[in-house]
Structure 1
C-alpha cells in the first residue's frame, strides 16, 4: 500500500489492558550442577608449564526459569577444573531475587542479581553465576517471541564462519591432530586452531608447519598460546609465525597485559586475539580501548551473560574489532550472527551430549538454528550427570 505525503497511516489504538508479556512474572527456577566427563584428559600450554592439571571434566550450572504464563528459558554457565560448586552455591543464594519479577526486564534483573552478591565482586565467580540466569531470561524472551535469539537481537547473517579447537590440543600427538583436522573439515568446519605455548618454541613451530602443509594455503589456521609466553618470546615466535599466514595468534600473553598485547598487535602483521579469560565487560573495555587485539574473544557465561556481552559487542564494533567468542558455540552462534563485522564461532563438540539438539555445519559455517530462543533442551544424559539440583518458587 502506498501513502500520499499528505496522508497518515491509521494505527489501531492499543488495547486498554496490558499485554500478556507485560504482566507475566517469574514463578519458578530450577538450578542444577552437572559434571560433563571428557573422553580423555586434555592439556594445553598451562599444563605443560605446570600451572594446571590436565582437564578431565567440565562443570555446568544450568538455570531453568518458568513464568506464570507458561513460558520457559534455559541458561548455563560453566567452569573448567575448580569453581563449579562455587557457581552453584552462589546461584542458590541469589535465585529467590527473581521470583515474582517481570522476566522482560533483563538489564534491571542483571543489576539486581549482581548487587545481591556485590560483596563477592562484580566479576569472576559472582557474575558467572548470574550468567546462567541472564542467558535463561534471554532464551525465554526469544522463545516467547517465537524467534531464534539471533533474530530477536537482529541478525546480520544466517550462518557464521566456524573453526575447530578440540582436535588440536598439545596433549594430542601430531598424527592424531591431522586425523582430527580431516574429520573436522569433513563435518563442514572452515578453520583449524592449533594449541601452542610449549616450553620449547621449536616444538610449536614444527607442529604449525606440519599442520599448514597438511591444510594447504588459504585454509584459515589459528594458534593459541593460552597466555604462556612472555613479551620477548611472543615477539620472537610471532615473527617466525608470520610465514604461515595465520588468521590470528591467540592469548600470546597474560590475559590482563593490555599494554603488552597492544605492542604485539602493533608489531606483528598477524592479527592478535584475546579476551576469553576476562570476566566482566569492564575488563574487556580496558583491552579494547588499549588496542590490545584485532579479534575480541568474550565468553558470555564468563562475563556474566548476554547482557554484558552485548555491551562488549557495541564497544568492539565502535572500535572496528572483529569478534571470535570463546567456547559455548550453542550460545555464541547467535551472538556472532548479530555482530555487524567479521565474526567467527568456535567449534567444540564436547557439549553435544548435554542437549537433544545439534547445530548444523554447512560450507565452513555454523547455521543459526530455526528453533526459538537458543533452540536447546536438556538431554537425559545431562540429567544422568546431574550431581545436585535445587528448586525455588512455585512447587519448590
Structure 2
C-alpha cells in the first residue's frame, strides 16, 4: 500500500521523534538552562610529550563549559565538560545552539534527551566537539536525577564500593624538574593518594628511564606507579621501551601509541606483561568499542566529558565489564569518582587538583583511595571564583 505524504496518516505505536507529549508518567519539565564558559587559569604552564614534539603549545588554561538546568518543580542539576588549549568557545557556541531542544522536556528521560540533542546538531557529527558540548547537559541531568532521589550519583547507579583507588597526575608532567617531581610524589602520598602517574615521551628514552627509576627509588615498591606517553611513540619504540620497563612493575603504560591505532595497541597488549591503558582521547562509544573488541587494552580510560556525558560513559563501561577490563576514567574526578565506584571490576580514579577552585566542595583522599562523597547528585556547586572567571554566559528559557 502506498502512503501519500500529503495524507494525515496515523501509524500504530507512532511516537514523536523530537519529543513525547506529556502523559501520566511525566514527572516534570525543564524550565531554564544557564550556560557559562569559564576559563580556568593554571598556576604554571604544563608540558607533556605532545609539547616536546611540537604538536601542541604548553597548557596554560582549561576552558570549562557549565550547564545549570532548572525544572519547573524547582529541581536543579549542574554539569560540565571542558576543552584544553583550543575549542572551548566552539563547545559553548554549539551548546548554546542546541540547548533550546531541552525546554519543556521531562529531565528524567536522559537517554532520549541525549538522542534529541545529538540529532539537533547531527550535521557536525556524533563525536568530537558535538558530543563534548552535549556532555555538559547530560551530566547536569544525571546530577538532577540523583539529587531528586536524594542519593549520591554512585548510589543511584548502584555503588560497589564507597572508596576508589586513586592516583595523581598533575604533579608528574615532563615540564616538572626532577627535584620538584619527587616532592610532588611525597606530597601526594602524604595526602592519602595511592598511586603516581609520570609523563614520559622524551626524545631520549634514557631520560624517561632515569626519572622513573628516581621516582621508584624515592617511593619504594609499595606505591603504585603508572606512566603516560601521550601517544608519542611508534610501535617499535613502544615495544622496546615497554620491555625495558617491565622490571619497574608498572600498573599500566598509558597511550603508548596513537589513540586510533587499535591494531598496534592490541599487539602491545599481547606482547608485554605490563598492562596497556588508553581511551581518553576518544569521543564516542564506537571508538571505545573498537579498542575493547580488539583486546587492545587492559585498562579502558573513557572521559565522560569527551564521549558525550554519563549516558554514553555507561555504555562503554557495560561493554568493558563484559570483557572483564579494568577501568581508569580520565580527568574530571568530580564526575568519575561516582562512575568508578559503580563499576563491576577493578577501577581507579585520576586525581587532578586543577578543578578544585571551581567548586565550593572538595573530594577527600585517604589510605590510597578517593572517598565517594555522601552529598546528593555529583555533590558540587560552583564557587564565586568560578563565576569570576566566566568569559561568556547565556540563559535559555523564560528568563532569556
Q: Same fold (TM over 0.5)?
A: yes
Q: Deviations over 1:52-109 (max 9, x none)?
A: 0100000000000000000000000000000000000000000000000000000000
Give the aligned partner of residue 372 of structure 1.
Answer: 376
Distance in 1, Cα, partners of 2:217 & 2:297: 27
Distance in 2, Cα, partners of 1:311 & 1:218: 34
Identify which of 385, 388, 394 aligns with 1:384: 388
Matched, 1:162 2:166: yes
Identify which of 383, 394, 399 aligns with 1:395: 399
Distance in 1, Cα, partners of 2:223 & 2:387: 39
Distance in 1, Cα, partners of 2:381 & 2:93: 23
Aligned to 1:350, the other structure's residue is in SS state coil
Give the aligned partner of residue 177 of structure 1.
Answer: 181
Distance in 2, Cα, partners of 1:369 & 1:177: 29
1:27-38 → structure 2 map (5 Å cutoff) = 27-38=31-42
Give the aligned partner of residue 147 of structure 1.
Answer: 151
Matched, 1:79 2:83: yes
Instruction: Give 1:218 shift.
Output: 2.7
Distance in 2, Cα, partners of 1:43 & 1:160: 28
Distance in 1, Cα, partners of 2:57 & 2:391: 22
Identify which of 92, 95, 99 aligns with 1:95: 99
Q: Deviations over 1:337-371 (max 9, x none)?
A: 00010000000000000000000111111111000
Identify which of 196, 202, 209 aligns with 1:192: 196
Task: Tell me the TM-score normalised to structure 2 length.
Answer: 0.94
Instruction: Give 1:395 shift.
Output: 1.7
Aligned to 2:79, the other structure's residue is in SS state strand
Matched, 1:137 2:141: yes
Aligned to 1:278, the other structure's residue is in SS state coil
Distance in 2, Cα, partners of 1:149 & 1:46: 34
Give the aligned partner of residue 275 of structure 2.
Answer: 271
1:2-13 → structure 2 map (5 Å cutoff) = none
Task: Tell me the TM-score normalised to structure 1 length.
Answer: 0.95
1:198-217 → structure 2 map (5 Å cutoff) = 198-217=202-221
Give the aligned partner of residue 5 of structure 1.
Answer: none
Aligned to 1:373, the other structure's residue is in SS state coil
Q: Deviations over 1:14-41 (max 9, x none)?
A: xxx957xx33100000000000000000
Matched, 1:289 2:281: no
Distance in 2, Cα, partners of 1:157 & 1:187: 20
Distance in 1, Cα, partners of 2:91 & 2:135: 10
Distance in 1, Cα, partners of 2:322 & 2:240: 31
Give the alignment's Cα RMSD to 1 decimal.
Answer: 0.9
Distance in 2, Cα, partners of 1:23 & 1:62: 25
Distance in 1, Cα, partners of 2:307 & 2:319: 15
Instruction: Give 1:255 shift.
Output: 0.1
Instruction: Give 1:217 shift.
Output: 1.1
Distance in 1, Cα, partners of 2:166 & 2:389: 28
Q: Deviations over 1:92-141 (max 9, x none)?
A: 00000000000000000000000100010000000000000000000000
Give the aligned partner of residue 236 of structure 2.
Answer: 232
Question: 4+ residue runs of structure 1 moved beyond 4 angstroms?
Answer: none
Distance in 2, Cα, partners of 1:145 & 1:395: 27
Give the aligned partner of residue 252 of structure 2.
Answer: 248
Aligned to 1:349, the other structure's residue is in SS state coil
Give the aligned partner of residue 12 of structure 1.
Answer: none
Deviates more, 1:126-135 or 1:214-223: 214-223
Distance in 1, Cα, partners of 2:198 & 2:83: 22
Give the aligned partner of residue 336 of structure 2.
Answer: 332
Instruction: Give 1:219 shift.
Output: 1.5
For structure 2, the 5+ residue unaligned runs are 1-22
Instruction: Give 1:165 shift.
Output: 0.3
Aligned pair count reads 378
